[in-house]
Amino acid sequence: MIPIRDTIPSRNYPVVTTAIIGINVLVYLMQLSQGGGGDRFVYIFGLVPARYSDPRLSHYFTTGQQLFSLFSFMFLHGGFWHLLGNMWSLWIFGDNVEDRLGPLRYLVFYLACGLASGLSHLILNTGSNVPTIGASGAIAGVMGAYFILYPRAKVLTLVPIIFIPLFFEIPAYFFLGFWFLLQFLNATAGHGTAGGIAWWAHIGGFIFGIIFLKLSMMLPDTGASRMISKATEKKHTARLQVIHPAHVDGDDPNLYGTIEVTPLEAQRGTRKMVNIPWGFQKRLIKVIVPAGIEEGGKLRLRGQGRLMPDGRQGDLFLKVVFQPND
């Protein structure tokens, strides 16, 4: 299953998530620049459990280097696809968690999840001399937080059946719960590192993500965090919106749904593309929101309703809803 996007739009630009992705890309380029010294680079800045348990190895590293590796490992990657997969997952789930926690708390939360995932792997693989690298553990923490915050969100997922790509909107609690189950099965079947993947780091990150979320929500927002959130507040809703229309009764050919805009868009007017699944059909329609429309106002899309047995073609009515600020 490959996640494509979720259905919860973020209210603010994810500045911390974007910065983390940028740093990961830069560090990956640094890895590539090492050439033949890439393995040494990974061994120094990756997380090597034996460096902490074997005095013969720890002798070669300073205390500062040992502590730094507990964080630096989560910014290294084993290849382009490893990097792309991690950053894609972070982009899908990170923006909403950052929205809820605020940028500063989210940054601390992300680093704490990465640290906890690394320690989970270190404790369960004390004698391993193989470097563990990647943001997977920290991102697993973000996914754990998303699992608690947005269980009823939908994740548009690509499920390839042989050579046929099929797309499904899967509830987040099922998608993330199934993902966690796979991590656990792989960890128990392969002694925690099957296929060179630190499965216990994923499991630890996910569990500690839930724990750290609860702790983070108990902390008050700082004035700096509120200022950053205010400055990064989005002035526009998503250009493409998915609308699930409903009908009132069997005799009514019309369909009814909602479209979300910001107050600024309502004041100035805007254009949106809406994807409307109805039965086995999926229609993509351009919608013009006129300037000055008020919240609760309705847009009428003629001929986009149900086709009745007697030949009547209904309309689609979209209620304008302002995007909430929280």
> Is the alpha carbon torsion for 82, 83, 89, 92 positive or negative?
negative
The reply to whether 240-322 shares the fold of 2-231 is no
The tens digit of pLDDT for each residue in 125-135 reads 888 898 999 99
Q: Which two tokens mark 153? A: 């969100």
* Mean pLDDT, rounded, of the chain: 87
For the chain, which residues make up each domain, given as ranges?
2-231, 240-322
CATH of domain 240-322: 2.60.260.20
What angle (nearest 5°) sits at the alpha carbon of residue 184, between those of residues 130 and 193?
15
Q: Which residue carries 């847009």 as its tokens?
A: 299
pTM above 0.85, yes or no: no
pLDDT digits (tens, 9 = 90+) for 48-69: 999 999 888 888 899 999 999 9
SS3 state of residue 93: helix
Of 229, 71, 86, 208, give the one whose Cα is nearest residue 145: 208
Distance CA 145, CA 83 (A): 21
Check residue 4 and give its pLDDT: 85
Give 113's contacts (C-beta < 8 A, 6+ positions apart).
137, 138, 140, 141, 142, 144, 205, 208, 209, 212
CATH of domain 2-231: 1.20.1540.10
More confident residue, 197 or 2: 2
Q: Looking at the predicted structure, is the pLDDT value of residue 281 above 70? A: no
The mean-pLDDT minimum among 82-86, 165-169, 222-226, 261-265 falls in 222-226
pLDDT for 282 beyond 90: no
* Cβ contact 10:232 at 8 Å: no
